[in-house]
Amino acid sequence: MAVPARFEFFLDQSRCIGCKSCVQACSECDTHKGESMIHLEYIDRAHSVQTVPVVCMHCEEPTCAEVCPADAIKRTGDGVVQSARKPRCIACGNCVMACPFGVPELYIDRAIMMKCDLCYDRTSVGKRPMCATVCPSQALFYGTREQLATLRPQSTPVNEFRFGAQRITTRVHVLVPRARPPALVDVTAALDDATQPRAVRLPVLRDAPDPFADVEV
Amino acid sequence: MATIPVDELEIIRAFGPHRSAKVRGTTSDEPEKLVKTHCCFCGQQCGIQLKVRHNEVIGFEPWEEFPFNRGMLCPKGVKRYLQGSHPDRLTTALARDPSSASGFRALPYERAIAQAAERIAAIQKAHGNGAVAVLSGASLTTEKTYLLGKFARVCLKTPYIDYNGRLCMVSAGAANKKAFGIDRVTSPWSDMIGTEVIWVAGSNVAECSPITTDYIWQARELGAKVIVQDPRITPIARTCDLYLPVRPGRDAALFAGVLNLLIEKDQIDHAFIDAHTAGFDAVAAYCREWPLERTSDVTGVPKRALEQAAELWGTAKSSFLFHARGIEHHSNGVQNALGTINLVLATGRIGKANSGYGTIVGQANGQGGREHGQKCDQLPGLRDISNPEHRKYIASVWGIAPEEIPGPGVDAYELFRKIDAGEIKALIAICINPKISLPDNQFIARALDKLELFCAIDFFLSDTARHADLVLPGSLQEEDEGVVAQVEARVIKINKAVDCPGEARQDWRIIQDLARALGREKGFTFADARAIFDELRIASKGGVADYSGMTYEKIEKQMGVFWPCYSHDPKTGEPTPDHPGTPRLFEPDSYNPIAKGAGPFYFPDGKARFNVADYRPAVDDVSAEYPIFLTTGRVVSQFLSGNQTRRIGPLVDQYPEPRLELHPRLAGKLGIADGDWTTCETRRGAITVRAQVVTTIRPDTVFVPYHWGGDKSINRVTVAAQDPISKIPQYKVCGCRVRKADGAPAYAARLEPQQ
């Protein structure tokens, strides 16, 4: 069985509420051995409740597989980059260091790398992955382009990323505002830019980034 | 005497909370069956399928066909299955035994029932029927809540029954009845998709009702503007269109000020007000006392934000307004809720597609638990225990004389004051953990110690049940069947997945066993939950919350039935076996049995009522002595007093212990750094927890979640002030002072995080 091409994975970080339902559900997926393959972090909890869920982006040319000395990471014909294969993986951690999205994780006790495999046991038989099924904010969305067009008229998907000189195309898409979509997501440029103060800004406070500026202590 | 005879650490050693395993068995185990049911936790009541093997719940599978959540679950729902087969599960009855290391010894179930009955009978003989009280809960199925109300009045013949919805739903319920004559949300959540404005007043939606987030985001994706009113920038506020950073306890002033702006700009629906409401003029006169300047001064919300709120609300053609405990947990809670209703009625946006109003209930059966008679002043069908006609009808269903039904009792907190005063000497408690959940809970612990008999029905030994003389092992949600009404007033079916372990019993059987042992079993011989439901349907018939047209089969076939659902058309009296229920209330030409066609609202004239929603300062407000606002609430991975969720390992790991949130400006002034042990002190006492320094909270306010017991319980220091109408406690505000702690609290070395 293969994952039907019409079903795609879309990530909308602006919807994420940090509840970790995806993290908790991932560990319930049959092939994940009780571990969660999803990373979900606060960007900077001191200044915002913004969280970012990270699933495997399932690259067309996966860096993790390219750097693997044991050829333990396979990309299936339907574009899913699988977790490391047991007899081959030597737990060297090359993939962990190389993945630009920071996805693979080494399990020292089991001497193997495990990562998100798009719930292959589920998606290859037509089900949705566990994380996107349970996600209460649908920041993780698994469906067709037609569904996306109906449900997310203000968003558009992007699947090109740049990390310095490296350009990556992925099976998983990130949703960006339709009004001003970037052609690609330049991750390293975002890191290089002088970062804006991360105080939460809301429309009413456009001129005053701190919503509590007037509050006396 | 119920004083705990041993070190609580010994009780914890024996009964937990211990953490469950991370997962159950190996995940590739094939289940024997998948049971379609619902989550046991909050009022969203998400559909879920439990994987069952060898009489054990071994996992879950999303239930994507269930229309409300379509497979979505929060982390509690995902891991809820781990509460089954837990090492802490009570599988025998327990009796107090000071000679035992844990303070308890197991005893055979039948002997425990006999002892309980014997002591209840002796106390009633010596001190009267009213010396015995019952406390129950809104996480129970509606069948159980119905049976408990009947048990208190008919078997124990005591007026004293109340429930933990008193801590949760009553402000909204009282306001709804005053304004609409009926107590439920107006609309199914699907009505939200396509609305123009959503106003979220005091509801941490993302953490307390996570599935509602998708509805709000989906509405926003289709163009809705989102207004969030909260002292904290919660995840739902992070990207909202308008944030109203209200000072705790000032909500009624905010609503009055915004309504005043709407009236000034004439952005109100005169035709609707004239045709369908009463009392507007008095409300308008009151709102004139709230010009912009004063409203801003009192609420702490910038004038421009108030004007924008009025602009968004005043120019919308469709809207939803939701509130939750943030505005309800106040000694002014009913007024706050009425303030929101006035905004809704003034703009006439109710009773139509894409326009609605409601409270987001917190508990599994937060809606259904308040309808069928476990509340101290209520009889089944949302009937009034003081109304002679209502008493007469229910007495006829119960086969007793109307005068045999006791009068109204008292609210859950007052009940503890009566225990403290020695008037109530015996307590039967189920599904309630007041030693953690009630404010100023050191008083609750002292009151529990004064009881001559405390009989707790529990599946895990809660902090409250540690004080018990007798513990009867009850049932987990997945060990019984029945119905609950979820947040939309959609009645859904809970299905049994596994049998009770050991000598544990389904709760309704325990109640009936007590009745039998008391020699008062008439009316308590139901063979199954369905038989209780069938009597409940008859008891609710003709009441506002009419379930008469529902069957288990209809509920499962329709995936939920919104009440009222009539067995006979209220207009014609014709049988209506196919009545589908009532998803949306107050539609223009709708007929209800109170108005009888006079109008859509549940009053004889069919009109909704404006009520002056008067701002009053909080009790024990900030002062020179206690200058900082203390507010409390939940985190997403824990539920209520944590008696279940603090035993589920992965949920404990997600947020292990309470922390005190404070703004860096306040922290700087107090010399507190992130992670420091910090002491929060009120007039009731002090609590020491670690600080979390964040810019997402008002700098004059600190927040602590309430899911933990003992020295980690923030309700040690909250104030036992109550709303004069609803009797809800004022959890959301009191004055406190905060300082860096002298060192780590004693519990840090003694207890695991969840204990």
Q: Are residues B115 and B240 in the same domain?
A: no
Mean pLDDT over the full length of chain B: 97
Q: Are residues B151 and B212 in the same domain?
A: no
pLDDT confidence of residue B4: 81
- Percent of chain A scored above 90 by pLDDT? 74
According to DSSP, the β-strands at A140-143 and A8-11 are: antiparallel
Instruction: Establish, for the pair of chains A and B, how many residue pairs have beta carbons separated by less than 8 Å.
Output: 163
- Domain end point (choices B304, B329, B359): B359
Q: Are residues B73 and B98 in the same domain?
A: no
CB neighbour list of residue B486: distance below 8 Å, 6 or more residues apart: B38, B43, B44, B45, B68, B361, B364, B367, B492, B560
pLDDT confidence of residue B24: 73
Phi, psi angles (nearest 5°) of residue A143: -175, -165
* Chain A closest-CA separation from residue B207 CA (Å): 7
CB neighbour list of residue B607: distance below 8 Å, 6 or more residues apart: B276, B277, B278, B598, B599, B601
Taking CA–CA distances from B654, the nearest residue in chain A reads A20
Task: Give the integer Cα–Cα distance in Å for B688 and B672.
Answer: 13
Over residues A12-33, mean pLDDT: 93
Rg, Å, chain A Cα set? 19
Q: Are residues B355 and B211 in the same domain?
A: yes
Structural domain count of chain B: 4
Beta strands, E only, B587-658: 608-609, 628-633
pLDDT confidence of residue B87: 95
Q: Quick check: is B619 in a domain?
A: no
According to DSSP, the β-strands at B197-201 and B225-229 are: parallel
Rg, Å, chain B Cα set? 25
Q: Which residues of A touch B60 (CB under 8 A)?
A: 28
Tell me, yes or no, if B305 comes closer than 8 A to chain A by beta carbon.
yes
Q: Quick check: is B570 in a domain?
A: no
- In this prediction the pTM is 0.97
ipTM greater than 0.85: yes
Q: Are residues B532 and B392 in the same domain?
A: yes
- Domain end point (choices B359, B385, B419): B359
What CATH number is attached to the domain comprising B290? 3.40.228.10
Residues of chain B with pLDDT under 70: 1-2, 25-29
Tell me, yes or no, if B99 comes closer than 8 A to chain A by beta carbon.
no
Q: Which residues of B touch A49 (CB under 8 A)?
A: 233-235, 238, 696
Q: Are residues B204 and B162 in the same domain?
A: no
CATH architecture of A8-192: 2-Layer Sandwich (3.30)
Q: How many CB atoms lie within 10 A of CB B403?
A: 9
pLDDT band, residue A67 (cuts 50/70/90): very high
Q: Are residues B155 and B183 in the same domain?
A: no
User: Sheet harboring B47-53: ordered strands across?
Assistant: B33-38, B47-53, B56-62
Q: Are residues B175 and B323 in the same domain?
A: yes
Over residues A163-185, mean pLDDT: 91
Q: Quick check: is B258 in a domain?
A: yes
Cβ atoms A89, A72 nearer than 8 A: yes
- Domain end point (choices B290, B325, B359): B359
Residue count (chain A): 217
pLDDT confidence of residue B5: 78
Q: Quick check: is B651 in a domain?
A: yes
Give the residue carrying structure tokens 């070190």.
B7
CB spacing of B238 vs A23 below 8 angstroms: no
pLDDT confidence of residue A82: 96
Which of A56, A61, A67, A65 has its CA nearest to residue A22? A56
Q: Tokens standing for B501?
A: 């372990």
pLDDT band, residue A180 (cuts 50/70/90): confident
Residue count (chain B): 755
Residue B93, beta-bridge partner list: B107
Tell me, yes or no, if A136 comes closer than 8 A to chain B by beta carbon.
yes
CB spacing of A19 vs B207 below 8 angstroms: yes
The model's pLDDT over B58-90, given as tens digits with 9 standing for 90+, comes to 999 999 999 999 999 999 999 999 999 999 999
Task: Give the integer Cα–Cα distance in Å for B468 and B134.
Answer: 14
Q: Quick check: is B609 in a domain?
A: no
Cβ atoms A133, B72 nearer than 8 A: yes
Over residues A203-213, mean pLDDT: 65
Q: Which domain holds residue B525?
A: 93-167+368-540
CB spacing of B74 vs A152 below 8 angstroms: no
Interface test with B, best of A13, A17, A27, A200 (most B CBs within 10 A): A17
Q: Quick check: is B546 in a domain?
A: no
Q: Are residues B283 and B183 in the same domain?
A: yes
What CATH number is attached to the domain comprising B161? 3.40.50.740
The model's pLDDT over B163-211, given as tens digits with 9 standing for 90+, comes to 999 999 999 999 999 999 999 999 999 999 999 999 999 999 999 999 9
CB spacing of A46 vs B695 below 8 angstroms: yes
Q: Are residues B161 and B192 in the same domain?
A: no
Q: Which residues of A touch B23 (CB under 8 A)?
A: 27-28, 34
What CATH number is attached to the domain comprising B74? 3.30.200.210
Q: Are residues B163 and B189 in the same domain?
A: no
Q: Whole-angstrom distance between the N-terminal and C-terminal Cα of chain B?
A: 25
CB neighbour list of residue B225: distance below 8 Å, 6 or more residues apart: B196, B197, B198, B241, B242, B312, B316
pLDDT confidence of residue A195: 54
Residue-wise DSSP of B150-199: HIIIIIS--S-EEEGGGGTTHHHHHHHHHHHSS-S-SS-GGGGTT-SEEE
pLDDT confidence of residue A193: 60
pLDDT confidence of residue A31: 81
pLDDT confidence of residue A198: 44
Task: Give the integer Cα–Cα distance in Å for A194 and A202.
Answer: 21
CB spacing of A45 vs B210 below 8 angstroms: no
Q: Are residues B352 and B433 in the same domain?
A: no
